[in-house]
Amino acid sequence: MLSTHLPALQVVLPLASAPVCLLLRHPRHAWACALTISWLVLAIAVMLVQQVAATGTISYAIGAWATPWGIEYRIDMAGALMILVVATIGAVVLPFAGRSIQQEIRKKHSGLFYTCFLLCLAGLLGIVVTGDAFNLFVFLEISSLSSYVLISLGCTRRALTAAFQYLVMGTIGATFILIGVGLLYMLTGTLNMVDISQRLTEVADTRTIRVAFAFVTVGVSIKLALFPLHLWLPNAYTFAPSVVSAFFAATATKVGIYVLLRLFFTVFGIGFSFVAMHVGEIMMLLAAAAMMVASLVAIFQNNVKRMLAYSSVAQIGYIILGISLASRDGVAAGMIHLFNHALIKCALFLSLGCIFLRLGSVELQDMRGLAKRMPWTMAAFVAGGLSLIGLPLTSGFISKWYLVGAALTDGYWPLAVLILLSSLLALIYIWRVVETAYFQVPGAGMPLVKEAPASMLIPAWLLIGANFYIGVDASLVSGIAHQAAGILIEQGVR
Amino acid sequence: MENLINDVLLGLLMITGFAIVRMKSLLGVTMLTSIYSLLSASLFVVLDAVDVALTEAAIGAGIATVLMVATVALTTDEEKVPRHTPLLPLLVVMATGAALIYGTLDMPHHGDPLAPAHRYVADSYLHDSPVEIGVPNVVTSVLASYRGYDTLGEVTVIFTAAAGVLALLGYRTRGRNIEAAGIRKQVVLRVIAKLFFPLILLFALYVQFHGDYGPGGGFQAGVIFATGFILYALAFGLGTAQRLIPSQLLRILAAAGVLIYAAVGLESMLLGGKFLEYRVLADDPIAGQHLGILLIELGVGITVASVMLIIYYGFVSRRH
């Protein structure tokens, strides 16, 4: 009986626990509450993935109202992959958060931190599982609003300006999405995504629908930090608390990409998005620019968190590149990289969190000779870095392999060259950290720091382990991604 | 005639918009935005969207103005001169505006009875909701039942706002009677405020429980309820208001509202229905719908009212 309600529980559980968390006075209790919920959320996600794999797309009518009159929760393989990413990352970073938040956030704020974290988790999951365009906007608002708060809780005052910058950009993005959804409703009279797509064929060739498409695309592109709309991201990731950077780098932008997939393929269809509106060419150009420019900028950063933030912009470029091909292989490659990059970037930001716990800084010059003091942390960073570059036996290699393959199949050999070039740039910025931490002597005034506690190392190493596992045997991830891409393409071709 | 009223209102909206851009005094801008909201509310009334109008009037013209005035009082009345030339923003805004106008070219005409938005889902709501839900106000049926899950999301957004304000501003639990000193001498104001206070609360309760039959519901009622307490706090000081409703209580109430809403959903699940399927809450499906709507609107009202007060306390208790 319970198993039929899993789609609703996936979102309602974290959403309803957030107010409970606010009422718990003691920081440890709030943490324990959030931790338990995040593990339950992961368990539900795993069960849902199994259900989708066994029975195909799941539909859940909230309030038992049939579509399009009520709101539908709809999970297909693509959605299942996304909830798995979000739930896994949530469950992995919360054990880490215990120590990290204790140090980085004032005690009286920790309850609020976990409240907002759960709200953000619920918001992101809600965006993924919903089949309703307006409901998507509502949950986007929940996740955005809580992310502004989470970022603003960073320990320097610059976190406030970073959060404000993100708030302004994010609000513009959300407004654009709302305008687009409004226009769609005006011409179709429905908000259910599948229903919109069916009724869209008659009215697709109108200026109103073209404008609606433009507005939602730009709005979502701001949320997912597509170059050149990424300007909010570097500051937000740099000044947010370590856990928050790790969580967002792995989930927030990825969910944005998922929304883009839903729009291009499920709602508007390939014929409209890629043939009539030429979004493929535009996205390909922006993705290529992101891969090169953001990687170049990353090389010149001295704050390692900021370096990784720029690297994220570049990696989002890879994912978008795959999607822009609009082929089954391309979309699958994009989704594989989406999954792999979520694990890698989360692990990298977690290891920076360990460094920040001990050093109180993530500036490159403070990390000289750190590998001797914190061998496990630095080893995790190096392992993640190797995967970011894309060395064989890492998950990064797998995603780049599929990406290059998809680009070559469609005859885009310059893209394959760009992917390799951008990987070389990644090698340079990762090497800068490795060189500083392993081969430089610590300065005279450097504090004698200890290795990070196990509660923080284990989450990071779990992700690194998963990364190597995928590097050796990618059949599971690749299978799910190809199946998901197949469904999306099938929905897109009409 | 209706078109003339529309044109006049839209013209006034445009004039107000330009005035907001041109004006340098932030207090003036705040007042103008309040007027802007009131004009929009009137426009919604002409468009027969009375529920939206009530919300816009209560939130846009009412409480948002109070909060913005509180912000101006905390910071400054002077607009800062921007350091950079606003050329790029201007271009972006113009491009957006041009795109919006381009999009209107193929829109169905205003009031067209054959427009898809009137024909498809909305049409069935109008026909079926008396049988399926039995609440005279169809807007309430849509917001609270057909799309009740969106409303749960909206309440959560409001709750998130409270968490944000608490995290960023916090508040002193024992606020001094800061602003009371000046207003204490204004006997007329204090007497009027005292007279109005119970009336506002009574009106809020009316809007809360009459939402099934006429315009209203938890959102509007919550805001009106909070306005009553804000008026009380303005006239008699924050400290007095906090003795009436302590900050800690507000925190509990804000959480309780969301929990009531979610609990109704979970309860309908336990009774064998889907999440938020109110008809299983009672033996008779219509009675179940009524009960469900009543409870979730109560949750909405409680959260909205307490969140508005949390934000107000947060802003005002920081005043030096």
Cα dihedral B7/B11/B14/B19 (nearest 10):
-160
- What pLDDT, on a 0 to 100 scale, did the predictor assign at position B75? 83
E strand or H helix at A75, and its extent? strand A72-75
Q: Is A15 on the interface with B (CB under 8 A)?
A: yes
Q: Mind telling me how many Å the CA of A145 is from chain B's nearest CA? A: 7
Q: Is the pLDDT of residue B231 over 60?
A: yes
- What pLDDT, on a 0 to 100 scale, did the predictor assign at position A388? 92
Complete DSSP assignment for B241-256: HHHHS-HHHHHHHHHH
Q: Is A146 on the interface with B (CB under 8 A)?
A: yes
- What pLDDT, on a 0 to 100 scale, did the predictor assign at position B175? 47
Contact A89, A5 (CB under 8 A): no
How much of chain B exceeds pLDDT 70, in percent? 95
CB contact under 8 Å between B163 and A146, yes or no, is yes
- What pLDDT, on a 0 to 100 scale, did the predictor assign at position B183? 63
Q: Is the pLDDT of residue B84 over 80?
A: no
Q: Report the largest interatomic distance among the alpha carbons of chain B, rounded to a whole angstrom.
A: 66
The alpha-helical segments, DSSP class H, found in B210-284 are 218-236, 238-244, 247-270
Q: Is the pLDDT of residue B240 over 90?
A: no
Q: Is the pLDDT of residue B111 over 90?
A: no
In this predicted model, what pLDDT tens digit does every residue of B156-191 receive, in sequence order? 999 999 999 998 887 555 545 555 555 667 788 889
The structural domains of chain B, with segments of one domain joined by +, span 1-120, 137-320
- What pLDDT, on a 0 to 100 scale, did the predictor assign at position B178? 54
> Would you write out chain A's pLDDT as a tens digit for each of its 494 residues?
678 899 999 999 999 999 999 998 788 999 999 999 999 999 999 999 999 999 989 999 999 898 889 999 999 999 999 999 999 999 999 999 988 888 888 888 888 999 999 999 999 999 999 999 999 999 999 999 999 999 999 888 899 999 999 999 999 999 999 999 999 999 999 999 999 999 988 888 899 999 999 999 999 999 999 988 999 999 999 999 999 999 999 999 999 999 999 999 999 999 899 998 999 999 999 999 999 999 999 999 999 999 999 999 999 999 999 999 999 999 999 999 999 999 999 999 999 999 999 888 888 888 888 888 899 999 999 999 999 998 899 999 999 999 999 999 988 899 999 999 999 999 999 999 999 999 888 877 777 788 888 899 999 999 999 999 999 998 999 999 999 999 999 988 87
Residue A260 phi, psi (nearest 5): -60, -45
Q: How far apart are CA A485 and CA A354, in angstroms?
A: 36
Which pTM value belongs to this model? Answer: 0.95
- What pLDDT, on a 0 to 100 scale, did the predictor assign at position A448? 76
Interface predicted TM-score (ipTM) of this complex, two decimals: 0.94
Q: Mind telling me how many Å the CA of A346 is from chain B's nearest CA? A: 25
Q: How far apart are CA B288 and CA B281, in angstroms?
A: 5
- What pLDDT, on a 0 to 100 scale, did the predictor assign at position B238? 85
CB contact under 8 Å between A8 and B118, yes or no, is no
The partner residue sitting opposite A5, judged by closest CB among B121, B159, B269, is: B269
Interface probe with A: pick from B100, B101, B104, B147, most Cβ of A within 10 Å: B147
Q: Is B118 on the interface with A (CB under 8 A)?
A: yes
Q: Mind telling me how many Å the CA of A51 is from chain B's nearest CA? A: 18
Contact B317, B175 (CB under 8 A): yes
Cα dihedral B137/B139/B140/B142 (nearest 10):
130
Residue type, A367: M
- What pLDDT, on a 0 to 100 scale, did the predictor assign at position B176? 52
- What pLDDT, on a 0 to 100 scale, did the predictor assign at position B169? 83
Contact A348, A384 (CB under 8 A): yes
Q: Mind telling me how many Å the CA of A23 is from chain B's nearest CA? A: 7
Count other Cβ atoms within 10 Å, centred on residue A363.
13
The alpha-helical segments, DSSP class H, found in A105-206 are 110-129, 133-152, 158-188, 193-203
- Looking at domain B1-120, its CATH class is mainly alpha
In this predicted model, what pLDDT tens digit does every residue of B2-25 receive, in sequence order? 789 989 999 999 999 999 988 889
If you search the block for the tokens 């009345």, which residue do you land on? B77
- What pLDDT, on a 0 to 100 scale, did the predictor assign at position A80? 93
- What pLDDT, on a 0 to 100 scale, did the predictor assign at position B171? 58
Sign of the alpha-carbon torsion through A337, A338, A340, A342:
positive
CB contact under 8 Å between A212 and B163, yes or no, is no
CB contact under 8 Å between B149 and A189, yes or no, is no
Mean pLDDT of chain B: 88
Q: E strands of chain B, at which residues? A: none
A residues 103-132 near B, CB within 8 Å? 108-109, 112-113, 115-116, 119, 122, 126
Complete DSSP assignment for A301-319: -SBHHHHHHHHHHHHHHHH
Contact A143, A123 (CB under 8 A): yes
Sign of the alpha-carbon torsion through A487, A489, A491, A493:
negative
- Is the bond preceding B116 in cis, omega lying within 30 degrees of 0? no
Q: Mind telling me how many Å the CA of B190 is from chain A's nearest CA? A: 35
Residue type, B289: Q
- What pLDDT, on a 0 to 100 scale, did the predictor assign at position A185? 93
How much of chain B exceeds pLDDT 90, in percent? 51
